[in-house]
Amino acid sequence: MRNAVSGAFKKCMAFAAMMAFGGGSTLAEELRWTHFGVRPLGMGNAFVGQADDFNALYYNPAGLAWLKTWTFEVLTLRGEISANTTNAVNDISSFAKSGSGSTAATIDLIKSQGGKPLGFSLGMEPYFVAPGFGFALAVELPTQFTFHNDITVDVNAGPRFYIPAGIAGSFFRDRLALGMNAKIVGQLGVNRTFDIDALENLSNGNSGSGSLADYVVGGYGIGFDLGLLFRPDAKKDTTFGLSILDFGGTTFKALSSGDSATGAPEARRPAVSTGISFKPIKTDGHYLSVNADVAAINQPVHYSKKVNVGTEYGLGDFLKIQGGLHQGEWTAGLQLDIVLLRLRLATYAEQLGTAAGQDELLSDRRYAIHMNLFL
């Protein structure tokens, strides 16, 4: 039974590769050094120095030490879609309504989507955090495709999960916070380029070497994160942050079922990030925070993709407005807390090229929403 379920899942993954219609390369390097939160993304993804909500579990576990109260969210839903995807849907809809089914018109439609990364994602993020402690479960199903005019398609699709549990403490009269996470991470899916021969093999139910598992990688691993926050004056809100995520690297154990096993995903490399945050405006009714981060300093990715800056304006306990720059592209966000509903919105662009601004086609603007009930 287990073998049948595993085989069916892998065939579904292969079928998704064949049925995708989309259009830079999804296999290009994406600097994804942790699970990104919607609120941090709105402020340019600069959060290592602020780390003042449940997202501290992903960016800097030291932030748990300075939380003022506990928060619990369980009924969560997160969705994300790229601007390229919505544009492609509109183009296809217009093409269908036009009634033009000529070969030339069809080829022109396909060419117009060539080289553009198309994607969407669904997931959930329940969590519990309290002063000095917290845990979360981030589950997402990202799906991204890029069709090229040489009849190849890049596919990056499959479920991922991220389960951190952290503790933190405050020292030296609340000037220094130290924290750490233990976490379980896992993924299953496809991340490769398919040419016409590979797609034909998939349609026949086998790969070139005779097994669909050749196209699927999956596994899980246990990792650790370390974090530090320092503020020269405990009564002020200027903080310096340092986080080391996947300390020592996080390796994956391949998934297995019976006599078969998937390939294991690549190990997660350590990511050393620094940040600074300060509040030039802070009263009982509102505040303004300004943040700047350098992410994954030690990883071999172009520096232009590592620098993030952002700001957030908060009004009472019900409204937060964010803005910033992430990898050289503007970001914006909004958070509303209304009775038992919390709504987070953000837009940002991910640079899929070697360097930020390398190619307009490789700038993937995305729109994210996170809704949940909270206590």
Strand partners for 341: 338, 373
| pLDDT above 60 (res 27) | no
More confident residue, 242 or 75: 242
How far is residue 351's CA from residue 332's CA, in Å, rounded to a whole number?
16
Q: Give the pLDDT confidence of 153-166 residue by residue, as tens digits.
A: 888 889 999 999 99
**pLDDT of 12 over the 50 cut:** no
Instruction: Tell me, rounded to whole angstroms, the distance of Cα 229 from its chain centroid.
Output: 23
Residue 223 has a pLDDT of 98
Separation CA 327–CA 366 (nearest Å): 13
Residue 206 has pLDDT above 70, yes or no: no
Distance of CA 123 to the CA centre of its chain: 11
Q: What digits encode the pLDDT tens for the residues 233-271?
A: 988 889 999 999 999 999 999 987 655 667 889 999 999
Q: Taking all residues of the chain, what is their mean pLDDT, rounded to a whole number?
A: 85
CA-to-CA distance for 51 and 230, rounded, in angstroms?
12
pTM of the model: 0.86
Q: What average pLDDT does the segment 185-203 reach? A: 77
The pLDDT score that the predictor gives to residue 177 is: 98
User: Could you tell me if 40 and 55 are in contact, meaning their C-beta atoms sit under 8 angstroms apart?
Assistant: yes
- CB 194, CB 203: distance < 8 Å: no
pLDDT at res. 116: 86
**Per-residue pLDDT at 19 exceeds 70:** no
- Read off the tokens for 28: 């290009």
Q: How do the residues of the chain divide into helix, strand and coil, expressed in percent and rounded to 5?
A: 20, 45, 30
Residue-wise pLDDT tens digits, 79-99:
999 999 999 888 888 877 777
Cα–Cα distance for residue pair 181/199, rounded to 1 Å? 41
Confidence category of residue 1, pLDDT binned at 50, 70, 90: very low
